[in-house]
Amino acid sequence: MKTGDQTLNEILDLAAAHFRVPKEKLSPDDDFFKTLGIDSLQTLDLLTKLENHFRVELPDYELQGVSDFRTLAGKIQARL
């Protein structure tokens, strides 16, 4: 079982690679919409990447209001 920190770190790795942003520019409490500069369709891409990587289902409504990597990691961790 991954720890919360491992999950968070993997999310940052995935986001950096998928949106071609240097990982050092991302921090756990960043608003990922602003930091990654992503729109609604790209947000869905990120959701799919995360579900495929962690092999979990993340219902969209559970992510409503979630905008930082740390809270996102918590939502994923709860489904691992």
Least distance (Å) from other proteins to the CB of residue 12? Answer: 19
Pick 4 or 47: Cβ nearer other proteins: 47
- What tokens were used for 42? 């790209």
What is the residue whose two structure tokens read 């993340």? 58
Q: Are 76 and 58 a contacting pair, CB within 8 Å?
A: yes
Cα separation of 35 and 3, whole Å? Answer: 24
| Least separation in angstroms between CB 36 and other proteins | 10
To the nearest whole angstrom, how small is the minimum distance from the Cβ of residue 45 to other proteins?
Answer: 6
Question: Which CB sits closer to other proteins, 16 or 63?
Answer: 63
Binding site for other proteins (CB under 8 A): 33, 38-41, 43-45, 47-49, 51-52, 57, 59-61, 63-64, 67
Q: What residues are paired with 68 via a beta bridge?
A: 31
d(CA 56, CA 48): 10
